[in-house]
Amino acid sequence: MNRFLSQVVGVELFTPKINDSLWYFKDVLGYYEVGKDKESVYLRAYNEFLYPFSIKLTEQEKSGIGEIYVRTMSEADLYDTVKTLEGNGVKGLWVEPDSKIGRSYAFETPSGHTVRLFWDFKEFVTPEELKSILKDRPMKIPNKGIGVVGFDHVAVSGVNQKENRLFWEKLGVKTHEMVVKGNMEIAAFMSLTGKAHDIVFFNDQIPGRLNHVAINIEHSSDIFKVTDMYRDYGIEIVSGPLRHGITQGIGIYGKEPGGNVIEVHGLQYYNYLPDWKPLVWDVDKDFWNPGAALYGYISEYLMKGSPEPGVKPLRPIELRARR
Ligand SMILES: [Fe+2]
């Protein structure tokens, strides 16, 4: 299958406590603040190439996920993908370039999440004082916080689980693993790049919610340092530290002060097989153990997501259309 999409570059997170969320990302995780506009603050981790940000924090009344930023493989692929989407009945809108992203197309997925598809972007230029000694390290390792290396994946929950999976597969995204309950699809672990997962969808009654955003560490042992720091700095631990069966990643899930769950993550497998058939786990037989957690503790609380259950998530595409 042809690939049209290059990678999930980052996400926008809504937070009702932007200053506290900034403290968490900058002082605990070690993100660099690299820009600000009226509503949002842009963050990037030290080992992310060229892209102007991977986390965009936007102040809103409730927590949750805003836009998901996906880059295409080429400029032509941007326009071809939009043609395919619109041919399949998707009604998105073109967004003129902003300070970070070039002309882009915002649309809502069947699960109720807003994706901004783009090709051009404003390349990040590292200030002289933050340049690493290495040519291939985009910025110096930060001198505070854990020093996470960059964005890994986003896990969201929404409606139309099967329709949504097929929608992404039509765009060339591979499903590596799935969770089912009998005939019902519960989760899909999907990959744009060959990593075990770039985007994960969980079945839910409500469209457009966030489960978690995962951020990579450099060394597996950093998981324990993060866990210790969470205890020292009062970050609520939602699950972990643990190793997953599905994807084989390791992680510790904490709730940032704005209410969104962040997974500090490492490892996972790579799978470049173009004709891969998804592995299927059945919750009634084999999901929780070892699928969800090969070892370590995972709580059902993790599945609550943000905003908290019962609160209607904001729809970023509607917010954008109203501007
Ligand atoms: Fe994850």
| CATH code, domain with 107 | 3.10.180.10
Cα separation, 33 vs 188, in Å, equals: 32
Does the pLDDT value for residue 287 go beyond 90? no
Q: How far is the CA of 253 from the centre of ligand 1 (A)?
A: 9
pLDDT digits (tens, 9 = 90+) for 124-149: 999 999 999 999 999 999 999 999 99
Q: How far is the CA of 211 from the centre of ligand 1 (A)?
A: 9
pLDDT-based confidence at residue 5 (cuts at 50, 70, 90): very high
Q: How far is the CA of 157 from the centre of ligand 1 (A)?
A: 12
Q: Quote the number of domains for the chain.
A: 1
Q: How far is the CA of 178 from the centre of ligand 1 (A)?
A: 14
Q: How far is the CA of 244 from the centre of ligand 1 (A)?
A: 9
Q: What does the pLDDT average to over 16-25?
A: 98
Whether 152 contacts 265, CB under 8 Å: yes
Q: Name the pTM for this structure.
A: 0.96
pLDDT-based confidence at residue 1 (cuts at 50, 70, 90): low
Q: How far is the CA of 214 from the centre of ligand 1 (A)?
A: 5
Q: What does the pLDDT average to over 53-72?
A: 97
Does the pLDDT value for residue 55 go beyond 70? yes
Residue 115 has a CB neighbour count (10 Å cut-off) of: 25
Cα separation, 21 vs 57, in Å, equals: 8
Buried b (16+ CB within 10 A) or exposed e, 130-167: eeeeeeeebbbebeebbbbbbbbbbbbbbbbbbebbeb
Cα separation, 131 vs 156, in Å, equals: 34
What count of Cα atoms within 13 Å lies in the side-chain half-sphere of residue 62?
Answer: 17
CA distance between the termini of the chain = 37
Instruction: Pick the range with the lowest mean pLDDT from 34-43, 145-154, 287-296.
Output: 287-296
- Answer whether the bond into residue 241 is a cis peptide, omega within 30°: yes
Does the pLDDT value for residue 35 go beyond 80? yes
Q: Which residues line ion ligand 1, judged by CB < 5 Å?
A: 214, 263
Q: How far is the CA of 153 from the centre of ligand 1 (A)?
A: 7
Range of the domain at 299: 5-322
